[in-house]
Every structure is written in C-alpha cells, then in structure tokens.
Amino acid sequence: MLRAMTGTRRSEARGHRQMEHTADVALEMWAPAEEDLLEEAAQAVIGILTGGLVPPSGRRRSVTIQAMDPEDRLVSFMNEVLALAMMDGYLVRNAAIRLEGEGGLTADLDGAADASSMVRTELKMVTYHHLLLEQSHGRWYGRVVVDV
C-alpha cells in the first residue's frame, strides 16, 4: 500500500516526495514537462542516497538511453542515475534532458565525481512495480518503487 508522507504539496509547480511502502521506497514526482519530471526523478534518487545532502556541481557527464516507451525511459534513466552513483561515485545535481522519439533520451548531467562518501543509503534498483507516468491538467506525474 502506498501512503504519502506529510509535509509536501503537489500544488507546487514541480517537486518530488518519498512515500511509505512496505520494505521498499516509493517515489512520486511531478513537473510541468516530462524533461523536468525526469530531472526531479534524478534528484529524488540522489536525495535518498545522500540522506538529503545536495552534491556540488562542476563535473559534467552525458548519458544516452534508448527505451521502449516513456515509462521505460523513466525507469531506465533513474536506474542510470543510481548506477552512476553506486558504481562510479558520481552524484547528479542537475540534468539538462532532451527527449528523442518515443523512448530516447540524452541528458547532460552536472554533479560531483568521486562523491561516494556522501552516500548514506544503498538502493538496489528502480522497479516497474506500481509504475505510473501520466500527463494531466498540464502537468506530468510519475510514481516508481525503488528496491532497497
């Protein structure tokens, strides 16, 4: 069962929040555009990993993803951000995202290299369990469950 944690407002133009979920972590994101939602998703993953610490900027990286559809693109991008953090110690601060076709994405990332000392929590992977990605009333909404 997903239950929202208190203290957040979906009325804000964009944001993300962690939600209670049995044995895993559920995340909900919202933004005015899909590209902004994907950036929020990256920041949500980093926020969990670092316990809310914001990594410094200054180190740039690029990633390209070819996914089947927008839902798969969301999960794949979040898993790429997670893999960069857990395997390379690279923590994303910001992402300039360009969508390509039905499921493609190129992201220019700005963040911190060799920042594994900032990681406070380990995450395994973003899953397709309870996956939601939709556009409604001029906003994009997404929900994923992260395996801890």
Q: What is the pLDDT of residues 48-62, one digit of tens each?
A: 999 999 999 999 999
Q: Specify the pLDDT at position 9.
A: 54
Domain that holds residue 49: 3-147
Can you give the CATH number for the domain in which 62 is found?
A: 3.55.10.10
Identify the band that residue 21 occupies on the pLDDT scale cut at 50, 70 and 90: low
- Tokens matching residue 45: 């993953």
Q: Specify the pLDDT at position 24.
A: 85
Q: How many domains are contained in the chain?
A: 1
Percent of the chain past pLDDT 90, that is, above it, reads: 84
Percent of the chain past pLDDT 70, that is, above it, reads: 90
Q: Specify the pLDDT at position 20.
A: 67
Q: Could you give the CA distance from residue 62 to residue 15 in angstroms, rounded to a whole number?
A: 23
Alpha-carbon 89 to chain mean position: 16
Q: Specify the pLDDT at position 81.
A: 98
- Stretch 92-109: mean pLDDT: 97
**pTM score:** 0.86
> Which residues, listed in sequence order, are joined to residue 111 by a DSSP beta bridge?
59, 92
